[in-house]
Amino acid sequence: MNSQKPEIIDESGDKYKYGFVTDIAADSAPKGLNEDIIRFISQKKGEPDWLLEFRLKAYEFWKNMKEPTWAKLNYDKIDYQDLSYYSAPKQKVAPKSLDEVDPELLQTYEKLGIPLKEQEVLAGVVAVDAVFDSVSVATTYRQKLAEQGIIFCSISEAVKEHPDLVKQYLGSVVPYTDNFFACLNSAVFTDGSFVYIPKGVRCPMELSTYFRINAKNTGQFERTLIVADDESYVSYLEGCTAPQRDENQLHAAIVEIVVNKNAEVKYSTVQNWYPGDKDGKGGVYNFVTKRAACRGENSKVSWTQVETGSAVTWKYPSCVLQGDNSSGEFYSVAITNNHQQADTGTKMIHIGKNTTSKIISKGISAGFSNQTYRGLVRVAPKADNARNYSQCDSLLIGSHCGSHTVPYVENRNKTAKLEHEATTSKISDEQLFYCEQRGIGEEEAVSLIVNGFCKEVMQHLPMEFAIEAAKLINISLEGSVG
């Protein structure tokens, strides 16, 4: 490797000489994906050799992989050579005041109840400040957290500051060979967060990527790694609760969680990427691989997600229950409207004894959207007394949408008890009539009913998220009635 290295740097330097001269250009790689691009990313980030090697191996493997077609998704073929793999492909000109911001966007903020100052930040009016703000916020937290030994930083920083930890866990839950999108991510991931909770520590606050990801506009290929050591606890929030008009075509993220003995991790996501316009033009393709490995005894992981955005969602947060008595939970609300498509669900792999898992999935389809719950519950031969309960309910609003349920249940242990239930229904006219009779408008009535339908999941969200998520649901369903 070492003997080859200078040669290749020369080569890439040659090729991209003009592209790298100015500061702005230096931040974005030319379109296309090849070894040079990966070396360029790695070099830009000042990564050690082992990580570059990891990326190159992933790329080598990815070249021979085929994009999966089994999901019930219908989207234009993605040209992977027509994407830029470093930095945001589009440099946005920041608006100077709120007057210049898209009024539709402002309306949405108002409905979400976001204060003016924050509105400015989110719309990118004071972009620089926002970056500074969030960095400083992060820094203050970091100090506070560091006192307890908690590491919370971007993954690029972690590679430099805590290489041993990253090296030990990166790719250990989601190997680069896992699937097409995970493999792509492994080759080109640009940023993400790293969390390490040491033994016996209960993280005193909720960790969030809310501002950092938004403001920095990092993004297409995030990679998150969370390690919870013995007897620790952390609650982690991800995503943006305010709609970001992100026009990136492709998001392929990975989240890896390692949970050791007696530890617990709660991971909550509110995903609200740009869903495309009313006719289904534009919008984000969201291909995410999320997996948690419950390695130790009595470990626990809980995924809660509220999915309202993206034109195409492909996401299956999974739990590998290796440790005895470990447990996994999955709570999901997915809402699709207009021409959105979502194929989402979970995997619960029971390997250890007395492992339990619970799946509550609520899907709401409206407009012309299509939604699929796809889940797998697998009980290995040695997983004595494994227990799973799955419930998938779908609500259809309008006669042009679709809702599908595809659960896979594989049981290889007789002591396992597995139950799966699914129902599909619509908002009944009686329910609506009842509300309207009492002076509640139709749209309000629908959101009331939908919120009731989702309640089981929403109550698992952290407080501040729950309120915004409930409002988000109302916004997502706007115009779907009548």
Partner 1 sequence: MGGLVQKVKLFGEYIPWFQAMRDKGAITFDELGLPTPKTEAWKYTKLRDLNTDDLVIEPSNFLSEMRVTAEEACGCHHEDGGCGCHHHHGKGCCCGHHHEEGDCHCHEEGHVCECRQKLQVPFDAYVIHFEKGKMIPPFPDFPRGVEVMNLMEAVITEDAKEYLGKVADIKLHPFAALNNAYMEEGIYLCVHKNVKVDKPIVLINHTKSGEENIFFNIRNLIVLEQGAEAEFVEWYNYTGAVKSRYFANLVNEIVLGKNAKLSHYKLQDEAFKANHIALSVVKQKADSNYHNFCLQRGANIGRNEVKVLLNDENASAEVNAAYIMSGWATLDTTTDILHLSPRTYSSQLVKGVVGGEAKGVFQGKIHIAQDAVQTEGKQLHRALLLSDTAEIDVKPELEIFADDVKCSHGAASGELDENQLFYMQSRGIGREEAKQILIDAYLNEALAKVKNPEIRAWLSDYAHAPQE
From 154-162, 167-175, 334-342, 414-422, span contacting partner 1 (CB under 8 A) = 414-422
Binding range to partner 1, per CB under 8 A, among 30-38, 145-153, 354-362, 408-416: 408-416
The reply on whether position 112 binds partner 1 by CB under 8 A is: no
Nearer to partner 1, 248 or 388 (CB): 388
From CA 464, how far away is CA 461, in angstroms rounded? 8
DSSP conformation class of 92: P
416 binds partner 1 (CB under 8 A): yes
* Shortest reach from residue 315's CB to partner 1, in Å: 19
Could you say which of 399, 430, 437, 463 contacts partner 1 (CB under 8 A)?
Answer: 399
Stretch 40-59 residues interacting with partner 1 (CB under 8 A):
none
Instruction: Count the residues in the chain.
Output: 482
Q: Quick one: which segment of 73-81, 130-138, 223-231, 406-414 binds partner 1 (CB under 8 A)?
A: 406-414
Q: What is the CA radius of gyration of the chain?
A: 23
Contact between 305 and 332 (Cβ < 8 Å): yes
Interaction residues for partner 1, span 284-343 (CB under 8 A): none
Q: Which of 91, 97, 139, 415 binds partner 1 (CB under 8 A)?
A: 415
Question: 424 to 463, contacts with partner 1 by CB under 8 A?
Answer: 424-426
The stretch among 53-61, 158-166, 269-277, 396-404 that binds partner 1 (CB under 8 A) is 396-404
Residue whose structure tokens are 């999955």: 330
Q: Which is nearer to partner 1, 31 or 417 (CB)?
A: 417
> Interaction with partner 1 in 1-40: which residues (CB under 8 A)?
none
**Beta partners for residue 154, in sequence order:** 193
- Binding segment toward partner 1, per CB under 8 A, in 24-32, 189-197, 203-211, 397-405: 397-405
User: Which region among 127-135, 182-190, 191-199, 404-412 touches partner 1 (by CB under 8 A)?
Assistant: 404-412
User: Applying CB under 8 A, what is the total number of residues that bind partner 1?
Assistant: 34
CB of 278 to partner 1, least distance (A): 19
Asked if residue 397 binds partner 1 (CB under 8 A), the reply is yes
Residue 272 half-sphere exposure toward CB, CA atoms < 13 A: 24
CB of residue 400 to partner 1, shortest distance in Å: 7
How far apart are alpha carbons 225 and 353 in whole angstroms?
26
Nearest to 42 by CA among 31, 51, 33: 51
Identified binder of partner 1 from the candidate list 178, 398, 456, 467, rule CB under 8 A: 398
Instruction: Tell me: does residue 70 bind partner 1 (CB under 8 A).
Output: yes
Out of 337, 394, 474, 476, the only residue in the binding site for partner 1 (CB under 8 A) is: 394
> Which CB sits closer to partner 1, 22 or 399?
399
Strands (DSSP E) along 322-476, which ranges?
Answer: 327-336, 341-344, 347-350, 356-366, 370-379, 387-397, 402-411, 417-426
Instruction: Provide the 3-class DSSP secondary structure of residue 61.
Output: helix
State yes or no: residue 396 binds partner 1 (CB under 8 A): yes
Could you tell me which of 32, 2, 4 has the C-alpha nearest to residue 19? 32
Kindly state the DSSP code that residue 77 receives in the 8-state scheme.
P
- Measuring CA to CA, which residue among 357, 318, 310 is closest to residue 334? 310
In whole angstroms, what is the distance from residue 453 CA to residue 395 CA?
A: 8
> With binding defined as CB under 8 A, does residue 412 bind partner 1?
yes
Tokens coding 383: 């997983």
How far is 211 from 215, CA to CA, in rounded Å?
6
Residue 349 beta carbon to partner 1: minimum distance, rounded to whole angstroms:
14
- Residue 469 CB, nearest distance to partner 1 (Å)? 24
Residue 77: count of CB within 10 angstroms of its CB: 6
CB of 453 to partner 1, least distance (A): 14
Contact between 172 and 178 (Cβ < 8 Å): no
Site for partner 1 in 334-393 (CB under 8 A): 381
Q: Taking the complex as a whole, how short is the minimal distance between the CB of residue 456 and partner 1, in angstroms?
A: 17
Q: Which is nearer to partner 1, 264 or 393 (CB)?
A: 393
One of 414, 437, 439, 482 touching partner 1 (CB under 8 A)? 414
| Residue 360 to residue 356: CA distance in whole angstroms | 14
Q: Distance (Å, rounded) from C-alpha 416 to C-alpha 387?
A: 6
In sequence order, what are the residues at sequence separation of 6 or more whose Cβ sits closer than 8 angstroms to the Cβ of residue 430?
A: none
- Assigned token pair, 423: 């129902």
Nearer to partner 1, 2 or 399 (CB): 399
- SS percent in the chain: helix, strand, coil, step 5: 30, 30, 40
Question: Which position among 204, 423, 442, 455 is part of the footprint of partner 1 (CB under 8 A)?
Answer: 423
Give the Cα separation of 100 and 73 in Å (integer). 36
For partner 1, the closer of residues 234 and 446 by Cβ is: 446
Q: How far is CA 226 from the centre of its chain?
A: 13
Which CB atom, from 56 or from 422, has the smaller least distance to partner 1?
422
In the structure encoding, which two tokens stand for residue 33, read together? 């994906």
Q: Is 355 helix (H, G, I), strand (E, B) or coil?
A: coil
Secondary structure (3-state) at 188: helix
Binding site for partner 1 (CB under 8 A): 70, 381, 394, 396-426
